[in-house]
């Protein structure tokens, strides 16, 4: 399969790899307890409270500042509640965008000192920069960047370098002073993170709960469309529909090669909603990088959602796949000792979407260990993570966890652990009719003539008389071997018993199954 193999009607691409709450209980995530630092003295190189400030920015800066105030004051606010996209999307789609862009430093929920440190690091890396260029990196409105520049000028951290161009309305360029470079160097000792300003843990948790996967309602036609490129029996679709809508965990098990992984990934195509994720999260004074361009598929926001906080990225609900390489420590925050900031674990990046644990049972640790790790998240709807400082905090555990395994359920864990996996769905080997359909589609895609009589004889010899179990992976595997053999023989690829027998020699050693 690409379950049981791909049909010729659709050839979707799979997402790159990298679970889900119990719907009966409401997740409770405590608010951030630490107070934010409000004085520059809380950060490295803080100036004394009575430091003398420069009078004002130059006239061009003041004028631009006023223009920013007028334009951004008139910007429409976005709402955190689900909003239907009006253009180019299904009528049932909801867009969970972030709140309106902040207009002041206070509205960012970050301290002025933190933002000045981050701006110093950005300018240290970028050299001479305009407020617009700083805004593009820090993902805050230019108005706020001008507020920071005014404060940094008063602290003698930066100095103006003239206009960007001959146009009197162009931006003023700024560069760090020697004091500013020292400030940036000290800030880099704390954390080498340079990028978009983070959001607070409280804002993150509240927004993730607001765009919960439980809000997504999958109907039959949407699931049919998502699975259109797969050859699967109707009874399997009847089982998958309720499982996806439940927002609970599921186990897909059965013989290898029958498309369990392709099926799990395809389920993500049935989701309609757009959700938002932050570039980074601030917990205490520690930064956790969250947005991952290799996992999160961005989408263009509708017109009425374009004035939102740029620290959030609008995406499709993610599908993150992890396989046999997954270890238990990969489910915790990863702290980079050199860079001094964190990377969010895989399953956290799958919030609001699907986390697929492929080849479950083939990881280094026993399957029971992974189930034990997720007992509380699957039951309570939140996970507990720890910083290297010892601080523990909770985050929502809001995703559909899909375990995909070639083992039987009883081989994966005890009854108590398996009880946390709400749906257990057997993915059967294809019937003769489905096997022929997959094979026919493969030959069509390869522009090879389909020969019913040859395939009838081949199926009889290998699957009926020799007792091999059908697999959705066999057709593509056999055809590819036939094409390789024909290139060597300098002949036109065709379905013949001799070529099928030659190709089968590569299948039999590792794919033999006894049906008795």
Mean pLDDT of 261-286: 91
Residue 269 and residue 228 in contact, taking contact as beta carbons nearer than 8 Å: no
pLDDT band at 24 (very low <50, low <70, confident <90, very high): very low
CA neighbor of 2 nearest in space, from 228, 237, 253: 228
Least confident of 93-107, 128-142, 145-159: 93-107
> Mean pLDDT in the chain?
82
pLDDT at 272 exceeding the cut of 60: yes
Own/partner contacts of 330-334, CB < 8 Å, gap of 24 or more, are: 331/373, 332/385, 332/386, 333/288, 333/385, 333/386, 333/387
- pLDDT of the residue at 252: 93
- pLDDT of the residue at 262: 86
pLDDT at 13 exceeding the cut of 80: no
CA neighbor of 480 nearest in space, from 511, 460, 454, 506: 506
Tell me the DSSP string of 79-123: -SS-EE--SSS-TT-EE---PBPPSSTGGGTS-HHHHHHHHHHHH
Which run of H or E residues covers position 367?
helix 367-373
Mean pLDDT comparison of 71-75, 245-249, 300-304, 421-425, highest-scoring range:
421-425
- pLDDT of the residue at 490: 92
* Tokens (6 digits) for 339: 């860079």
pLDDT band at 129 (very low <50, low <70, confident <90, very high): very high
pTM exceeds 0.85: no
Helix, strand and coil in the chain, % to nearest 5: 40, 15, 45
- pLDDT of the residue at 259: 84
In tens, the pLDDT along 146-166 reads 999 999 999 999 999 988 777
Residue 352 and residue 313 in contact, taking contact as beta carbons nearer than 8 Å: no
pLDDT at 264 exceeding the cut of 70: yes
- pLDDT of the residue at 90: 58
Q: Please work out, in degrees rounded to the nearest 5, the angle formed at the alpha carbon of residue 39 by the alpha carbons of 148 and 286.
A: 85
Mean pLDDT of 156-180: 88
pLDDT at 189 exceeding the cut of 50: yes
Residue 22 and residue 379 in contact, taking contact as beta carbons nearer than 8 Å: yes
pLDDT at 465 exceeding the cut of 50: yes
CA neighbor of 179 nearest in space, from 116, 114, 224, 250: 116
Residue 243 and residue 403 in contact, taking contact as beta carbons nearer than 8 Å: no
pLDDT at 2 exceeding the cut of 60: no
């Amino acid at each position: 399969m690409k379950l049981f193999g791909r049909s010729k009607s659709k050839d979707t691409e799979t997402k790159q790899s990298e679970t889900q709450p119990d719907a009966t209980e409401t997740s409770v995530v405590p608010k951030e307890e630490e107070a934010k630092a409000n004085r520059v003295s809380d950060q490295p190189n803080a100036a004394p409270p009575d430091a003398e400030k420069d009078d004002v920015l130059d006239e061009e800066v003041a004028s631009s500042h006023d223009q920013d105030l007028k334009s951004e004051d008139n910007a429409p606010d976005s709402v955190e509640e689900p909003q239907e996209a009006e253009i180019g999307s299904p009528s049932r789609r909801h867009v969970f965008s972030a709140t309106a862009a902040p207009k002041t430093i206070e509205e960012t929920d970050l301290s002025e000192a933190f933002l000045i440190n981050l701006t110093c690091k950005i300018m240290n890396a970028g050299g001479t920069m305009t407020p617009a260029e700083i805004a593009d990196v820090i993902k805050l409105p230019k108005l706020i960047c001008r507020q920071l520049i005014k404060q940094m000028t008063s602290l003698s951290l930066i100095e103006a370098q003239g206009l960007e161009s001959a146009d009197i309305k162009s931006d003023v360029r700024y560069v760090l002073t020697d004091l500013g470079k020292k400030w940036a160097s000290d800030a880099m000792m704390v954390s080498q993170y340079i990028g978009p300003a983070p959001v607070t843990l409280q804002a993150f948790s509240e927004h993730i709960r607001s765009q919960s996967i439980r809000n997504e309602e999958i109907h039959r036609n949407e699931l049919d469309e998502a699975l259109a490129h797969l050859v699967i029996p109707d009874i399997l679709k009847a089982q998958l529909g309720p499982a996806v809508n439940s927002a609970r965990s599921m186990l897909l098990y059965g013989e290898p090669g029958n498309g369990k992984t392709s099926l799990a990934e395809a389920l993500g195509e049935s989701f309609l909603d757009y959700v938002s994720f932050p570039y980074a999260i601030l917990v205490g004074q520690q930064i956790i990088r969250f947005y991952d361009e290799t996992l999160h598929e961005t989408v263009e926001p509708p017109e009425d959602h374009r004035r939102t906080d740029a620290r959030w990225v609008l995406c499709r609900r993610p599908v993150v796949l992890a396989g046999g390489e997954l270890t238990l420590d990969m489910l915790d925050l990863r702290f980079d000792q050199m860079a001094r900031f964190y990377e969010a674990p895989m399953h956290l990046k799958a919030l609001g979407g699907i986390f697929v644990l492929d080849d479950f049972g083939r990881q280094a640790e026993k399957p029971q260990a992974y189930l034990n790790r997720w007992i509380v998240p699957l039951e309570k709807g939140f996970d507990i993570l720890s910083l290297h400082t010892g601080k523990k905090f909770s985050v929502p555990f809001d995703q559909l966890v899909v375990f995909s395994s070639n083992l039987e359920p009883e081989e994966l864990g005890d009854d108590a652990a398996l009880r946390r996996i709400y749906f257990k769905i057997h993915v059967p080997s294809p019937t003769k009719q489905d096997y022929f359909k997959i094979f026919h589609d493969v030959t069509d895609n390869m522009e090879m003539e389909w020969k019913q009589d040859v395939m009838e004889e081949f199926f009889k010899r290998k699957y009926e008389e020799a007792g091999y179990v059908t697999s959705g992976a066999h057709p593509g595997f056999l055809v590819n071997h036939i094409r390789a053999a024909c290139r060597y023989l300098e002949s036109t690829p065709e379905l013949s018993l001799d070529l099928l027998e030659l190709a089968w020699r590569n299948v039999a050693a590792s794919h033999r199954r006894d049906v008795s």
